[in-house]
Amino acid sequence: MLLKDKVVLVTGASQGIGKAAAIGCARHGADVVINYHGDDAGAADAVAQIEALGRRAIAVKGDVAEASTAGVFVRAAVEAFGVVDVFVNNAGICPFHAFLDMPPEILERTLRVNLHGAYYMVQAAANQMVRQGHGGSIIAVSSISALVGGEMQTHYTPTKAGVHSLMQSTAIALGKHGIRCNSVLPGTIETAINREDLADQNKRDYMAGRIPLGRLGEPDDLAGPIVFLASDLARYVTGAALLVDGGAFVNLQ
Ligand code: NAP
């Protein structure tokens, strides 16, 4: 019960890592407000799973790429549950595409959702935490891609380096308010974002073989690290980045 009676907000929580993080926080006693974009059934299922744990949850639909979505989301959380204690910026897209003929629309959309969306959301959550006056914890779901490149991800990796950098700068800007800002850097986690890419069994085997812990990640692998950073166990941790990749990053050979 590391988050007993805390109010946790998670963006992009209708499936994948965000959904696992939302449910993981509820398992530790939190009430949860989730944002999502299109998957109504997934969002309803996340709410149902949280309620089944005896906690409260609401889902608020909205496109994080729109600046106005952030204020709507945070206000809905405050109206429903009174405060914002923890904010998890997770929503993101990765439409795999080669570099030389990258369509401007794909580049623009990826930057808008992953980076602008994170900025607006973190800003809105931070303003609410500052108004409340008792600190808080902000966690961004960055990626191992903040540290390494990807041939088909030239539009995506800069956004993940960007949200990690945002956490470093906001850690400084918000430290005086007792608000901690950290990022988690997942390795390859099996979700809808990479389903097509991982459909190739040879590629899966190659990737799993490069991971010291011997398997690809699953969304629930992120829940523990996010709960930890959200909780008072991490009370002196800010501006940090936690790799959650089964050891993939350190395995050069
Ligand atoms: P996912 O299963 O595809 O889930 C993405 C979530 O983000 C969904 O809930 C989706 O909502 C939401 N979303 C997408 N665009 C949105 C928008 N414009 N506004 C609001 N919500 C939006 O992907 P995932 O793998 O869990 O990815 C979650 C985060 O982890 C991303 O930031 C990604 O970069 C990061 N990450 C993933 C991996 C990996 O290997 N899977 C590795 C490193 C980092 P709807 O489905 O309702 O549209």
Pocket test for ligand 1, best of 23, 37, 210 (most atoms within 8 A of CB): 37
Q: Span 189-194, mean pLDDT?
A: 95
| Residues marked as catalytic | 143, 156, 160
Q: Whose CA is nearest to atom 12 of ligand 1?
A: 12
Res. 253 pLDDT band, cuts 50 70 90: confident
Backbone angles phi, psi at 58, to 5 degrees: -135, 155
Cβ atoms of residues 73 and 35 within 8 Å: yes
Q: pLDDT tens digits, residue range 129-187?
A: 999 999 999 999 999 999 999 999 999 999 999 999 999 999 999 999 999 999 999 99
Whether the CB of 46 sits within 6 Å of ligand 1: no
Q: Where are the domains of the chain?
A: 7-244
CATH class of 7-244: alpha beta
Whether the CB of 207 sits within 6 Å of ligand 1: no
Q: How far is the CA of 126 from the centre of ligand 1 (A)?
A: 21
Q: Whose CA is nearest to atom 32 of ligand 1?
A: 92
Amino acid at 219: P
